[in-house]
């Protein structure tokens, strides 16, 4: 267990804003996690669990407590048969490295989530997804420290309340469970078209044989698409997709389609549709605009880049200007995707 004091959270998060944390504790095992949590609890300190810092916005006042960073590593094969493989990964593993290793085994199910920043342990919290796949599709279970019972538990898929970019871990049970391991079942069959529109178009433009496409070619394509649309946080500070793609009533979607025939609309169920947040922002002529030191990314309007923001107040002001503009034009309220501390 490694303990540091008075650490700037701007150095641990990809948006690069926010104040200091009193303590940062790095844990590499479940035993260390339990001990670190109980020690902080006995000291009366607030506790926050931090993964890769790619989906978190920190306020200027920082955090007067203990940040526990999960560094539990390891990848184990639980079951391997002719059709599938069931894999458990430590929560501290880097998500994209894990995807790369699974693709290297020709396992399908998470390849379109290549390039997503963060850790394996953070993936279920947001139910991450991209280009037609989401974590819930392959999720089997996770192991977590239950802070209420002071014990380790197994939560199955039905226990996690997965929805679009949501789970109980950022909803009704926020703060209760600390994820230590995640188990997925991946497929040995090759990817089957048709693929998500943007991915399908990318493959077609490069004359890839879609009928015989491999998981490696899908991963390569996704990484190329993402590199053009999503800036590297190490080069341009950002938190990835800053706004969720809004899910709205079908009637509103039809009304907007009549007014804006070019608007992309994707069915969710019989009564709701999903509209890309980036399209809404771009249609307000905001792409490339800078608000309070925060830039709407040139390549993807759903990404906000910290160019010169002085702190959280600047980001909040920029967010308000963008969401107000979208609401005035489309009567849709955009919701922020990253969590806040």
From residue 248, alpha-carbon distances to 126, 270, 322 in Å are 20, 12, 18
* pLDDT given for residue 206 in this prediction: 81
pLDDT tens track for 301-339: 999 999 999 999 999 999 999 999 999 999 999 999 998
* pLDDT given for residue 291 in this prediction: 97
Left if phi > 0, otherwise alpha if psi is -120 to 50, otherwise beta: which for 62?
left
* pLDDT higher at 25 or 231: 25
CB contact at 8 A, 287 and 296: yes
pLDDT tens track for 109-136: 999 999 998 899 999 998 999 888 999 9
Structure confidence at residue 197 as a pLDDT band (50, 70, 90): confident
Question: Is the pLDDT assigned to residue 266 strictly greater than 80?
Answer: yes
* pLDDT given for residue 246 in this prediction: 95
Left if phi > 0, otherwise alpha if psi is -120 to 50, otherwise beta: which for 240?
left
Question: Is the pLDDT assigned to residue 263 strictly greater than 90?
Answer: yes
Burial class of residue 251, CB neighbours in 10 A (0-12, 13-18, 19+): exposed
The domains located in the chain, with CATH, are 2-70 (3.30.43.10), 75-187 (3.30.465.10), 238-340 (3.90.78.10)
Strand segments, DSSP code E, in the chain are 2-8, 20-27, 47-50, 56-57, 63-70, 75-80, 84-90, 129-130, 133-134, 139-146, 151-156, 177-187, 238-241, 247-249, 266-267, 272-274, 290-291, 294-296, 303-306, 339-340
Quote the CA–CA distance of 103 and 133 in Å, as a whole number: 14
* pLDDT higher at 205 or 183: 183
Question: Is the pLDDT assigned to residue 207 strictly greater than 80?
Answer: no
* pLDDT given for residue 77 in this prediction: 95
| Three-class SS state of 296 | strand
Kindly state the DSSP code that residue 245 receives in the 8-state scheme: P
* pLDDT given for residue 260 in this prediction: 96
Q: For the residues 124-151, what does the mean pLDDT come to?
A: 95
* pLDDT given for residue 102 in this prediction: 97
Please provide the average confidence, as pLDDT, over all residues in the chain: 93
* pLDDT given for residue 10 in this prediction: 94
Which of 166, 180, 172, 69 minimizes the C-alpha distance to 120?
180
pLDDT tens track for 183-195: 999 999 988 777 8
* pLDDT given for residue 54 in this prediction: 84
* pLDDT given for residue 270 in this prediction: 86
* pLDDT given for residue 193 in this prediction: 72
pLDDT tens track for 76-119: 999 999 999 999 999 999 999 999 999 999 999 999 999 998 89
Which runs of consecutive H residues, i.e. helices, occur in the chain?
Answer: 30-42, 95-104, 123-126, 197-205, 215-229, 250-259, 277-283, 312-330
Those residues with Cβ within 8 angstroms of residue 221's Cβ, 6 or more apart along the chain or in another chain: 199, 202, 203, 206, 208
Question: Residue 301, Cα to own-chain centre: how many angstroms?
Answer: 17
* pLDDT given for residue 109 in this prediction: 95
Preceding amide of 194 cis, omega within 30: yes
Annotated catalytic residues are 165, 241, 337
Those residues with Cβ within 8 angstroms of residue 261's Cβ, 6 or more apart along the chain or in another chain: none
* pLDDT given for residue 322 in this prediction: 98
At residue 269, what are phi and psi to the nearest 5 degrees? Answer: -155, -160
Query: 33 is written with which tokens?
Result: 């996690």
Q: For the residues 281-291, what does the mean pLDDT come to?
A: 97
Question: Is the pLDDT assigned to residue 285 strictly greater than 80?
Answer: yes
Q: Rounded to a whole number, what is the distance in angstroms from the first to the last CA of the chain?
A: 23
Rounded (10°) CA dihedral 98, 101, 102, 105: -170
pTM to 2 decimals?
0.82
């Amino acid at each position: 267990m490694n303990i540091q004091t008075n650490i700037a959270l701007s150095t641990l998060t990809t948006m690069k804003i926010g104040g200091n944390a009193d303590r940062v504790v790095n844990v590499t095992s479940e035993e260390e996690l339990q001990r670190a949590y109980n020690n902080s609890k006995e000291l009366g300190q607030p506790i926050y669990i931090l993964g890769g810092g790619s989906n978190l916005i920190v306020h200027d006042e920082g955090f007067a407590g203990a940040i526990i960073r999960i560094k539990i590593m390891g990848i184990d094969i639980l079951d391997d048969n002719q059709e599938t493989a069931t894999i458990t990964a430590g929560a501290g593993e880097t998500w994209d490295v894990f995807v790369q290793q699974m693709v290297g085994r020709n396992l399908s199910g998470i390849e379109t989530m290549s390039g997503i920043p963060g850790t394996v342990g953070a993936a279920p919290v947001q139910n991450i997804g991209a280009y037609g796949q989401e974590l819930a599709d392959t999720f089997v279970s996770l192991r977590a420290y239950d802070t209420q019972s002071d014990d380790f538990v197994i939560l199955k898929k039905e226990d996690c309340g997965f929805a679009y970019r949501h789970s109980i871990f950022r909803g009704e049970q926020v703060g209760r469970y600390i994820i230590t391991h995640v188990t997925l079942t991946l497929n040995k069959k090759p990817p089957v078209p048709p693929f998500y529109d943007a991915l399908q178009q990318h493959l077609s433009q490069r004359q890839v044989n879609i009928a015989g496409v491999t998981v490696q070619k899908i991963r390569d394509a996704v990484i190329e698409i993402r590199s053009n649309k999503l800036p590297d946080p190490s080069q341009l500070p950002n938190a990835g997709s800053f706004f969720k793609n809004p899910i709205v009533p079908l009637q509103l979607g039809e009304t907007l389609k009549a007014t804006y025939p070019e608007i992309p609309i994707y069915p969710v169920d019989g009564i709701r549709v999903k509209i890309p947040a980036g399209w809404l922002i771009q249609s307000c002529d905001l792409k490339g605009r800078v608000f309070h030191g925060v830039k709407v990314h040139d390549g993807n309007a759903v990404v906000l880049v910290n160019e010169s923001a002085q702190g959280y107040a600047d980001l909040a002001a920029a967010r308000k200007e963008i969401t107000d503009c979208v609401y005035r034009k489309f009567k849709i309220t955009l919701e922020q995707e990253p969590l806040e501390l």
